[in-house]
């Protein structure tokens, strides 16, 4: 979804995704992972809740699922430690592995 005020953030995420896709294809010996950390309780989330009216209902829907940074990082570290994913894979915090 496109929301006002998130142009640079969204563009950065899209650019990162394409860069990692190309990295995985051009470097088959490098294991590449797209990790989506889920909605993380950060200063950015706080600012969005305060300032972007269009996001209010979306963010309220996440309320029960907002993650502490250390929670999502712990899952990422576990995924990386196991290494049981194909290079270029997209894994979301809420995916069942």
pLDDT digits (tens, 9 = 90+) for 53-76: 656 565 555 556 889 999 999 999
Residue pair 14/70 in contact (Cβ under 8 Å)? The answer is no
First-to-last alpha carbon distance for the chain, in angstroms, is 26
Q: What is the mean pLDDT of residues 8-31?
A: 95
Q: Is 60 exceeded by the pLDDT of residue 79? A: yes
pLDDT at 52 over 70: no
Q: Which residue has the tokens 């190309």?
A: 22
Q: Six-digit token pair at 11?
A: 């563009």
List CB contacts of 85: < 8 A, sequence separation 6 or more: 31, 33, 79, 91
């Amino acid at each position: 979804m496109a929301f006002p005020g998130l142009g640079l953030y969204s563009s950065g995420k899209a650019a990162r995704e394409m860069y990692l896709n190309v990295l995985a294809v051009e470097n088959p010996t490098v294991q590449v992972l797209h990790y989506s950390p889920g909605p993380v309780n950060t200063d950015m989330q706080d600012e969005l809740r305060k300032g972007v009216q269009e996001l209010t209902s979306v963010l309220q829907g996440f309320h029960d699922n907002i993650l502490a940074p250390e929670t999502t990082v712990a899952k990422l570290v576990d995924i990386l430690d196991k290494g049981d994913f194909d290079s270029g894979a997209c894994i979301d915090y809420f995916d069942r592995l």
